[in-house]
Amino acid sequence: NAGVTQTPKFQVLKTGQSMTLQCAQDMNHEYMSWYRQDPGMGLRLIHYSVGAGITDQGEVPNGYNVSRSTTEDFPLRLLSAAPSQTSVYFCASSQVTGELFFGEGSRLTVL
């Protein structure tokens, strides 16, 4: 049972480049979310989804897109990377409520 798998673990981008962070879960969870974690800011919700075809914005959605075409996958797209998007990104999933299962994180540096 792999749980929540994020790729890549590390990525360096130049300002203006685009990329996709991948997230997959094998627990048949309806809820999936993306967070970013920055020193002194804690975990902040970017986008979340409560099922295939349903997404909504979190606290800091600007500059990011998401889609949920299947229950298993919830990719996060950076449209035009900015240095302010340098962060550690976590994908998490859960049943309708309760325990969140996190991935191991993706560390992104934007130069």
Partner 1 sequence: SQKIEQNSEALNIQEGKTATLTCNYTNYSPAYLQWYRQDPGRGPVFLLLIRENEKEKRKERLKVTFDTTLKQSLFHITASQPADSATYLCALDKAGNNRKLIWGLGTSLAVNP
- Beta-bridge partners for 21: 76
Contacts with partner 1: how many residues (CB under 8 A)? Answer: 27
Nearer to partner 1, 64 or 90 (CB): 90
Shortest Cβ 10–partner 1 spacing (Å): 11
**Among 18, 56, 70, 80, which residue sits at the site for partner 1 (rule: CB under 8 A)?**
56
59 contacts partner 1 (rule: CB under 8 A): yes
Spatial CA neighbour of 29 closest among 57, 60, 1, 3: 3
Stretch binding partner 1 (CB under 8 A), from 12-20, 62-70, 73-81, 88-96: 88-96
SS3 53: coil
Q: Rule CB under 8 A: which of 11-40 touch partner 1?
A: 31, 33, 40
**Among 52, 105, 108, 109, which residue sits at the site for partner 1 (rule: CB under 8 A)?**
105
Nearer to partner 1, 80 or 95 (CB): 95
Q: Cα separation of 81 and 88, whole Å? A: 14
- Do the beta carbons of residue 56 and residue 43 sit within 8 Å? no
SS3 83: helix
Q: What are phi and psi of 50, to 5 degrees?
A: -110, 10
